């Protein structure tokens, strides 16, 4: 247990309050130590307080580590709230970052929330192919059976088209839903050769679906290869035998008498004949527990279940309490067939607006109807709405907005819902209700010209101003920034609106030039007279919109309360100024791990030589702290402008000599090279003999770009060239295969030193998720990948056929990218000409498939080669052919004559010359 864990233990023993715990935990939020950050996130995720969720959401925005963001997404699934679900939906609906989208979908599934289920159902219809397997998987975790029929149909298509990843997710989800219709399809997967992982998934799923152990007997021979699979098969058979002993009546009895077993046995009922289940439930309905029976119905996936509620529970004879349980139950389904049931319960539910049943009815409508606007719209236009008190109007709007959040992925449907909300806003008279509707449009991130005109006209109404600014913040309307600056210039309501203005302005696009009123406003917000929250928002605004005249005010926060200190440190990274560097250096001595981590991050980004020297001094003092070493190695960039007289690489070299067995010695060597990237070019072999000079002369004649190569690459080419310069030394029966290896090595080194180092590696480190999106979109995340899908995605036909693709190397590169190993392990991933050829093929040329999976901003750095697609593919083909020649040379093929190698030499030299221009 770390220091954060000890603080949490005190909180559990009630020795400290929640607010004190959070204040103490903030010292670890931005620590360089990943374990400390992870422990804090786990602690906040396990606390059910709403403020713990707020802390996690704020940390997600502020944190600089992508791994921490994934941890936060997972933690939000433990205690789901409307706020956290809305946040997860906003990530899940954006497929421009597939790994984050996948994590959010997983968290939505783990939340087991009916609202999450509705969102996933609507997302499934229009989602991209790359995220569809994860949507399917999330539906199985909730579980939500609304799409069961569509999923069974999709499973048949996925099996036929060999979409392994989608098939696995479908099999797992349909087994969780106890889909009897899927059982024959899953059973057919047991005998499919060549994919043992899929066969095991199918076997485990049949353990939940089958009630006849005998039907597996014919497939036993497929699971006798090793002890593990044999034991797995036997375990599944035993599981089926135990479950087959329960009848319908016994399953219902178990579900009615045991809270723990109710979900298990309720789902089990889906495997029995529909009429048999209905008859057994009808027999229990007269005297049974309505609450438990409703929970059973919530788990059933029979098509006619919506009508069972009316037949089992006649509404005229039910109490209001029992109607409440029925409305709660139908939230687990979505079907237009529930509309008659809702209409039948309307009078009883809406009679008393102060009863919990009033809210439950609207909640059930928003979650059980695919077109809930057909219920909400008439009510919002009725006399009953006009007579509702303010708080109940807001309650109804809340549920309608939750429905709107669920249908965001259906553009036409979402448009219709927003139109209803807009009409309500324009006719509403109560200020509090208007304010809630404005915030609703902000939640939905929906820009509408009429709504923005409404905001402009009423922004000075103090009752609406805060909500209006929230709308401007979230929807980012054209003219939003100008509106905020107008308010600041007028000086109206400056105290009440300061925080809303700062939030809204920070989110607007565009640059802010000279503006005296804005500078004065920010100076006021940074004074000690303002609340800490206002000061924090002003500092966060300056992170995105730095203003040189406010540097002194920012530096003054270096000894403030920790949250303010952290925000000031991040703002200081935008200033190449000695005052900023001095303040950051002082923060490196803080006792707070978060402050030290943030200060180090800002210093590594500072462009000046002094900041880099301070970072290296800090590295020397903390050379055995692997987190510090990793941060500096990854982030400290080279010095621009060589007249400063600082030998930074020499300083790192002394560190290497002093710590020759350091765990990150390879990274220190890379840092040394990066800090003085031209050092290798200045190395000239002293006292070279006449033989070497002769080789160099011949190489320069045959390869004009030879003079631009560094000494290491020249030495490789000399070794390859010597048999051509002095054939007398290599006569007879001497095998000259090493020449082929050396020529290939030279090309490998050249691509790595130019395109790899200058284009590919920086892009991977800066935007790994962009490459992960491409890998997912091309289907390379699947095992095995589909060559046809890859060809189609990257538009490689007709230059390549499915059998021509180096799928093994593509899969290896995809795994390295998806697992993030490609960041710290470049040279193991890109280990030869075939690897470079694959990287050029996938990322070095434009394709519609690639760009379709990326946002406009993400497309900016791609493709990584600016030559035409044909030129790049020609280079790829030649690299692959040369790699095949190298493989022959390595594996026992001999080249006894120099003349046998002349064609290979010409090809290698031509490739090196082409690389000089192309890459």
How far is residue 73's CA from residue 87's CA, in Å, rounded to a whole number?
9
When mean pLDDT is compared across 53-57, 113-117, 334-338, 631-635, the lowest value belongs to 631-635
pLDDT at 680: 34
Three-state secondary-structure class, residue 641: coil
pLDDT tens digits, one per residue of 468-480 = 999 999 999 999 9
How far is residue 807's CA from residue 541's CA, in Å, rounded to a whole number?
47
pLDDT tens digits, one per residue of 696-707 = 888 888 888 888
The average pLDDT across 485-505 equals 83
pLDDT tens digits, one per residue of 531-548 = 999 999 999 999 888 888
Task: Judge whether 881 and 869 are in contact, CB under 8 Å.
Answer: no
pLDDT at 730: 64
User: Residue 816 corresponds to which tokens in the numbers above?
Assistant: 């390295």
Q: What radius of gyration, in Å, describes the C-alpha atoms of the chain?
A: 33
pLDDT-based confidence at 756, cuts 50/70/90? confident
Task: Judge whether 756 and 915 are in contact, CB under 8 Å.
Answer: no
Task: Judge whether 215 and 233 are in contact, CB under 8 Å.
Answer: no
When mean pLDDT is compared across 420-424, 652-656, 675-679, the lowest value belongs to 675-679
User: Residue 912 corresponds to which tokens in the numbers above?
Assistant: 């090196």
Name the DSSP letter for residue 786: P
User: Residue 341 corresponds to which tokens in the numbers above?
Assistant: 């049931």
C-alpha atoms less than 13 angstroms from C-alpha of 128 in its C-beta half-sphere: 24
**Alpha-carbon distances, residue 341 vs 300, 328, 338, 563, 907 (angstroms):** 17, 13, 5, 52, 77
Q: Does the pLDDT at position 309 exceed 60?
A: yes
Higher-confidence residue: 850 or 685? 850
CA dihedral 709, 711, 713, 718 (to 10 degrees): 110
The average pLDDT across 809-819 equals 89
pLDDT tens digits, one per residue of 122-140 = 999 888 888 999 999 999 9
pLDDT-based confidence at 494, cuts 50/70/90? low
Name the DSSP letter for residue 636: P
Q: Does the pLDDT at position 351 exceed 60?
A: yes
DSSP 377-408: HHHHTSHHHHHS-HHHHHHHHHHHHHHHHHTT
pLDDT tens digits, one per residue of 63-106 = 878 889 999 999 999 999 999 999 999 999 988 888 999 999 99
When mean pLDDT is compared across 153-162, 252-261, 447-456, the lowest value belongs to 252-261
Q: Which residues fall within 8 angstroms of residue 874, CB to CB, at 6 or more apart?
A: none
Whose CA is closest to 686, among 722, 711, 719, 653? 711
pLDDT-based confidence at 505, cuts 50/70/90? very high
Whose CA is closest to 310, among 330, 288, 291? 330
pLDDT-based confidence at 608, cuts 50/70/90? confident
Name the DSSP letter for residue 544: H
pLDDT tens digits, one per residue of 226-274 = 788 889 899 999 999 988 889 999 999 988 888 878 888 999 999 999 9
Whose CA is closest to 78, among 103, 121, 47? 47
How far is residue 159's CA from residue 462's CA, in Å, rounded to a whole number?
60
pLDDT-based confidence at 681, cuts 50/70/90? very low
pLDDT at 679: 41
Give the Cβ contact number of residue 791 at 10 Å.
20
Q: Does the pLDDT at position 726 exceed 80?
A: no
Whose CA is closest to 510, among 534, 476, 537? 476
Read off the pTM.
0.85
pLDDT at 641: 54
**Alpha-carbon distances, residue 6 vs 28, 30, 35, 52, 764 (angstroms):** 13, 18, 14, 17, 38
Give the Cβ contact number of residue 81 at 10 Å.
17
Three-state secondary-structure class, residue 190: helix
The average pLDDT across 431-459 equals 94
How far is residue 540's CA from residue 239's CA, in Å, rounded to a whole number?
57
pLDDT-based confidence at 642, cuts 50/70/90? very low
pLDDT tens digits, one per residue of 192-230 = 767 788 888 999 999 999 988 888 888 888 888 778 888
The average pLDDT across 784-796 equals 86
pLDDT at 684: 37
pLDDT tens digits, one per residue of 549-592 = 899 999 999 888 888 999 999 999 888 788 999 999 999 999 88
State percent of the chain over pLDDT 90.
48
How far is residue 895's CA from residue 701's CA, in Å, rounded to a whole number?
25
Rounded to 10 deg, the angle between the 98-111 and 768-777 helix axes is 80
Size of the chain, expressed as the number of residues it contains: 919
What are the backbone angles phi and psi of residue 579, rounded to the nearest 5°? -60, -40
Q: Does the pLDDT at position 899 exceed 80?
A: no
pLDDT at 225: 75
Three-state secondary-structure class, residue 736: coil
pLDDT tens digits, one per residue of 362-417 = 999 999 999 999 999 999 999 999 999 999 999 999 999 999 999 998 899 999 99
What are the backbone angles phi and psi of residue 508, rounded to the nearest 5°? -80, 145
Name the DSSP letter for residue 758: I
Whose CA is closest to 790, among 782, 98, 760, 93? 782
The distance from CA 621 to its chain's CA centroid, rounded to whole angstroms, is 35
Task: Judge whether 151 and 180 are in contact, CB under 8 Å.
Answer: no
Q: What is the mean pLDDT of the chain?
A: 88
- Three-state SS letters, 615-635: HHHHHHHCCCCHHHHHHHHHH
Cis link prior to 784 (omega < 30° from 0)?
A: yes
Whose CA is closest to 32, among 819, 731, 606, 590? 590
């Amino acid at each position: 247990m770390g220091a954060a864990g000890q603080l949490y233990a005190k909180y559990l023993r009630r020795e400290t309050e929640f607010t004190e715990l959070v204040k103490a935990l903030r010292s670890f939020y931005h620590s360089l130590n990943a374990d400390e950050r992870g422990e804090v996130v786990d602690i906040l995720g396990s606390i059910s307080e709403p403020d713990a969720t707020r802390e996690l959401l704020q940390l997600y925005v502020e944190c600089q580590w992508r791994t921490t963001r994934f941890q936060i997404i997972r933690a939000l699934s433990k205690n789901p709230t409307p706020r956290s679900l809305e946040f997860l939906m906003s990530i899940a609906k954006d497929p421009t970052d597939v790994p984050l989208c996948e994590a959010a979908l997983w968290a939505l599934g783990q939340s087991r929330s009916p609202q999450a289920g509705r969102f996933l159902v609507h997302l499934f219809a229009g989602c991209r192919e790359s995220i569809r397997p994860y949507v399917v998987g999330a539906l199985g975790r909730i579980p939500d059976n609304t799409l069961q029929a569509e999923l069974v149909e999709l499973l048949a298509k996925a099996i036929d088209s060999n979409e392994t990843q989608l098939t696995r997710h479908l099999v797992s989800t349909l087994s969780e839903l106890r889909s009897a219709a899927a059982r024959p399809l899953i059973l057919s997967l047991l005998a499919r050769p060549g994919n043992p992982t899929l066969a095991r998934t199918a076997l485990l799923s049949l353990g939940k679906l089958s009630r006849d152990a005998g039907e597996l007997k014919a497939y036993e021979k497929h699971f006798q290869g090793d002890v593990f699979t044999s034991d797995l098969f036997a375990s599944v058979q035993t599981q089926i035998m135990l479950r087959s002993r329960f009848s319908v009546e016994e399953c219902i009895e178990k579900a009615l008498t045991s809270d723990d077993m109710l979900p298990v046995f309720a789902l089990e009922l889906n495997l029995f004949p529909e009429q048999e289940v209905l008859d057994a439930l009808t027999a229990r309905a007269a005297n049974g527990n309505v609450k438990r029976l409703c929970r059973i119905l919530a788990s059933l996936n029979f098509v006619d279940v919506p009508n069972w509620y009316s037949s089992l529970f006649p509404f005229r004879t039910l109490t209001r309490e029992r109607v409440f349980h029925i409305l709660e139950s139908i939230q687990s389904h979505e079907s237009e067939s529930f509309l008659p049931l809702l209409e039948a319960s309307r009078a009883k539910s809406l009679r008393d607006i102060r009863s919990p049943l009033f809210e439950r009815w609207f909640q059930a409508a928003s979650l059980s109807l695919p077109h809930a606007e057909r219920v909400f719209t008439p009510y919002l236009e009725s006399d009953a709405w006009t007579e509702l008190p303010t708080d109940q109007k807001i309650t109804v709007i809340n549920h309608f907005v939750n429905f709107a959040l669920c249908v965001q992925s259906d553009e036409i449907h979402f448009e219709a819902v927003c139109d209803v909300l807009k009409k309500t806003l324009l006719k509403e008279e109560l200020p509090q209700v208007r304010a809630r509707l404005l915030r609703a449009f902000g939640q939905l991130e929906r820009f509408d010209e009429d709504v923005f005109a409404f905001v402009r006209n009423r922004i000075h109404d103090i009752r609406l101003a805060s909500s209006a600014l929230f709308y401007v913040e979230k929807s980012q309307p054209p003219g939003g920034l100008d509106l905020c600056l107008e308010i600041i210039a007028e000086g109206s309501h400056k105290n009440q609106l300061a925080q809303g203005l700062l939030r809204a302005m920070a989110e607007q696009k565009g640059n802010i030039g000279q503006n005296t009123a804005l500078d004065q406003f920010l100076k006021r917000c940074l004074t000690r007279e303002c609340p800490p929250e206002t000061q924090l928002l002003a500092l966060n605004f300056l992170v995105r919109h730095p203003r040189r005249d406010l540097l002194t005010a920012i530096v003054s926060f270096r000894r403030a309360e920790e949250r303010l200190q952290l925000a000031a440190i991040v703002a200081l990274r935008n200033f190449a100024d000695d005052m900023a560097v001095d303040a950051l250096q002082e923060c490196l001595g803080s006792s707070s791990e978060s402050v030290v981590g943030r200060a180090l991050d800002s210093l590594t980004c500072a462009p000046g030589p002094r900041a880099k020297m301070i970072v290296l001094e800090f590295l020397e003092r903390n050379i055995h702290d692997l987190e510090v070493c990793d941060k500096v190695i990854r982030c400290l960039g080279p010095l621009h402008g060589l007249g400063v007289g600082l030998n930074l690489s020499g300083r790192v070299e002394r560190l290497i000599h002093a710590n020759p067995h350091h765990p990150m010695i390879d990274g220190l060597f890379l840092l040394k090279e990066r800090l003085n990237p031209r050092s290798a070019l200045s190395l000239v072999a002293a006292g070279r003999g006449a033989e070497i000079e002769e080789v160099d002369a011949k190489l320069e004649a045959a390869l004009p770009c030879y003079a631009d190569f560094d000494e290491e690459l020249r030495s490789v080419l000399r070794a390859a060239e010597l048999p051509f310069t002095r054939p007398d030394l290599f006569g007879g029966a001497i095998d000259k295969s090493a020449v082929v290896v050396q020529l290939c090595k030279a090309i490998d080194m050249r691509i790595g030193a130019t395109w790899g180092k200058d284009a590919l590696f920086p892009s991977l480190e800066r935007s790994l998720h962009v490459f992960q999106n491409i890998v997912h979109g091309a289907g390379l995340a699947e095992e095995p990948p589909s060559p046809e899908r890859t060809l189609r995605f990257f538009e490689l036909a007709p230059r390549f056929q499915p059998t021509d693709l180096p799928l093994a190397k593509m899969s290896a590169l995809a795994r390295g990218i998806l697992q993030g190993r490609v960041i710290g392990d470049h040279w193991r991933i890109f280990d030869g000409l075939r690897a470079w050829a694959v990287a050029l093929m996938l990322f070095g040329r434009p394709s519609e498939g690639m760009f379709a999976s990326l946002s406009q901003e993400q497309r900016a750095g791609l493709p990584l080669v600016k030559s035409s697609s044909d030129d790049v593919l020609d280079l790829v083909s030649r690299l692959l052919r040369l790699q095949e020649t190298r493989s022959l040379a390595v594996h026992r093929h001999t080249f006894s004559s120099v003349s046998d190698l002349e064609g290979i030499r010409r090809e290698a030299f031509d490739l090196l010359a082409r690389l000089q221009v192309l890459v």
